[in-house]
Structure 1
């Protein structure tokens, strides 16, 4: 198997560490079993931490034979990137699901490709719902009991 070598500045390496941590976290956060391919790459990247002078941010857990991020550094990354992503994706997904519900009410269950009329309606519905949610948040959402 061919090998790839990278030359990175310390700053670039730190961004690679952050990217690998966040990517691995996203892949594994919803699984019962870790994705070993991602874990292998994560371990390889983190194992070079001394070369980049990141002793304050990466720790070697000798008893387990793995490298990990310092707890404070990990928390900072999760707070900075994951919470912002979760907030954005929540609203995006909420708009999408509410629009899907309205599309089914208006056009019936989807069958095949959407027509131009349906796509135009979908965009209009998403825009309207998105604007309303921006204005009111979830305070005006309600569910009818039937």
Structure 2
């Protein structure tokens, strides 16, 4: 197997570390068992931390033979990127699911792929629901039994 060598500045390496952490977190955060290929890639990248002067951000856990982000650095990345992503995707997914429900209520079972007319209708419903949620948040949502 051929190898690829990449030269990075310290700043580029730091962005690579952040990208690897966030990507691995995304892949493994919902799994019962870790994706070992992602974990191996993460380990490969993090193992070069001393070359980039990241001794404060990355620690080597000798007893288990792995590298990890310092807990404060990890928390900073989660706060900076994951919280914002979660917030955005929550609202985006909520609008999408509420639109799907309304479409099913109004039109019954909808065949996929959607026709252009149904796509347009769905976009209109999503826009309407999105505007309402922007105005009221979840305060006016309710479940009827």
Using structure 1 for the length normalisation, give the TM-score. Answer: 0.97
Specify the alignment match of 1:111 in structure 2. Answer: 111
Q: What residue number does 1:78 align with?
A: 78
Runs (4 or more) in structure 1 with deviation over 3 Å come to: none
**Partner-residue secondary structure (3-state), 1:59:** strand
1:144 deviates by 1.6
Match of 1:3, SS state, is: coil
- Aligned counterpart, 1:69: 69
Give the match's secondary structure for 1:139: coil
The Cα of 1:107 is off from its aligned counterpart by: 1.5
- Map of 2:11 onto structure 1: 11
Counterpart residue number, 1:37? 37
Match of 1:130 in 2: 130
Structure 1 residue 143, shift from structure 2 partner: 1.6
For the aligned residues, what is the CA RMSD? 0.7
Tell me if 1:97 matches 2:97: yes
5+ residue gaps, structure 1: none
1:113 Cα deviation (Å)?
A: 2.1
Q: TM-score, normalised by structure 2?
A: 0.98
Measure how far apart 1:112 and its partner are. Answer: 3.1
Q: In 2, distance between residues paired with 1:50 and 1:4?
A: 20
Q: Give me the whole-angstrom Cα distance separating, in 2, the residues matched to 1:143 and 1:14.
A: 46
CA-to-partner distance for each residue in 1:6-52, whole Å, 9 max, x for gaps? 00000000000000001001100111111000000000000000000
Q: Distance in 2 between matches of 1:100 and 1:137?
A: 19
Q: Which runs of 5+ in 2 are unaligned?
A: none
Number of equivalenced pairs: 145
Specify the alignment match of 1:60 in structure 2.
60
Alignment partners' CA distance in 2, 1:106 and 1:2: 57
**2:22 matched to 1:22?**
yes
